[in-house]
Chains A and B, each alone.
Chain A
Amino acid sequence: AQRVTQPEKLLSVFKGAPVELKCNYSYSGSPELFWYVQYSRQRLQLLLRHISRESIKGFTADLNKGETSFHLKKPFAQEEDSAMYYCALSTPDSWGKLQFGAGTQVVVTP
């Protein structure tokens, strides 16, 4: 069965420092990977998906099939990046349904 692992429950970084949120998945085929974000008192929303290859709010994520990873990175964290981040996986076997990781809480301190 496919699985998404986010090993860090909490990441605390200083403003201006780089931040990397780890995401590993278990699936042998061609997955589609997503990062969703939930800011305080806001709804869960899509941050980015690997097929779009975009940089959103300064965040990037590269799908590494060899390492089965989809880590989220930002070179200079901002206080408004403080949020809960979820990595999610979709596969052809799951007919597009999402499998979420446990989430990583990011706290950016000034």
Chain B
Amino acid sequence: IAGITQAPTSQILAAGRRMTLRCTQDMRHNAMYWYRQDLGLGLRLIHYSNTAGTTGKGEVPDGYSVSRANTDDFPLTLASAVPSQTSVYFCASSVGLYNEQFFGPGTRLTVL
């Protein structure tokens, strides 16, 4: 059982390029989340989904979009990357919104 996986592990991206970070879970969790982790700021919620077919904005949604076509996948897209989006991105999932969250290994993204 893989749990929750993310791809790629790391990426260097030119500013202005489009990028999709992938997240897949095999735990049949209803809720999924995307966070960015920045030094001194902790983890900040970008977008979330409490069930397949629905998504919501978190604390820092600007410049990012998500989709939830099925239970397992929750991709995060940067339509036109900017250097301020350089960060480590974590995907997480939970049975429901009020349950323990399980985290993926993270994607380190550098935008130049």
Contact = CB atoms under 8 A, between A and B. Distances in A.
A72 B100 CA distance: 18
A96 B42 contact: no
Nearest to B98: A96
A102 B42 contact: yes
Does more than half of chain A's interface fall in helix, strand or loop, or is it mixed? loop
A44 B90 contact: yes
Interface string B74-105: 00000000000000001010001111111111
A98 B98 contact: no
Interface residues of B, number: 26
A90 B100 CA distance: 11
Contacts, number: 47
B42 A43 contact: no
Interface stretch (B14-22, B43-51, B64-72): B43-51
Contacts of A43: 102-106
B60 to A, nearest CB: 12
B61 interface: no
Interface in A71-104: 86, 90, 95-103
A90 B94 CA distance: 14
Interface residues of A, number: 20
B104 A102 contact: no
Most-contacted residue by chain A among B40, B43, B97, B98 (CB, 10 A): B43
Interface of B: 31, 33, 35, 40-45, 48, 50, 58-59, 90, 92, 96-106
Across chains A and B, which 8 residue pairs bring their CB atoms closest together, nearest first? A96-B97, A96-B98, A44-B103, A100-B42, A100-B43, A102-B42, A43-B103, A46-B100
